[in-house]
Amino acid sequence: MKLLKKIFLLSVIILLTSCASGYKTINPNSLNYISNSTDKGVLLEYKYELLEKKYEKKELAKGVRLIAIKITNNSDKDLVFGKDIKLAYGNESNLYIMDNEKVFKTLKQSPASYLWYLLLTPLNLYTTESTNGYRTETNSIPIGLVVGPGLAGGNMIAAGSANKKFEQDLMNYNINGKIIKKGETTSGLIGVRSDNYDAIQIEVK
């Protein structure tokens, strides 16, 4: 009986601690790009649908799309992304590129949201045992003392770790304001305000 109780408790903890989402690192340099656009000797390749799990859900809910882009400058001069190189939608509507720090704050998980698991702290597990079919004994096990703080702490740590990796990718691959020298290829991550996955075109000034 004691073994079954321990197995049950362990199973509950493992199941519920999966609530916090992990983060899979994105490397724009190694992605397989399908969509592209060219203008004045400059090639743009891009890819949507990079995020998974809770990050993907927040992306959809917040009206933000994270996009990996790769730009190859085959022109005869150096170009600055955001100044000499602009992006627009295929229907020529404006494309607003967010600051990467703003993208992170919008899409990150909230570790504090897992504090509600502390409400499980008073939880007790009751078991009843019979002897010779007549005598019964009821035992109370305060599993909440382990489950509540364990779930809260475990999920907060997992969410914080995933957020750190996500933020690091956004900072490492921040292409806003970057100089792309002639003959050079540069990759990066950008966030845009959009509810769709519209075609993007490059515009070289």
What does each of the 205 residues of the chain score in pLDDT, given as a tens digit? Answer: 454 455 455 545 554 545 778 899 999 999 999 999 999 999 999 999 999 999 999 999 999 999 999 999 999 999 999 999 999 998 777 788 999 999 999 999 976 566 556 566 776 666 667 666 665 667 777 766 666 666 677 778 888 899 999 999 999 999 999 999 999 999 999 999 999 999 999 999 8
SS3 198: coil
Listing from the earlier edge strand, what are the strands of the sheet with 35-39?
35-39, 42-47, 64-73, 185-193, 97-98
- Looking at the whole model, is its pTM more than 0.85? no
Estimate the crossing angle of helix 53-62 against helix 100-107, to 10 degrees: 110
Helix (H) or strand (E) holding 73: strand 64-73
Between CA 152 and CA 56 the distance in angstroms is 22
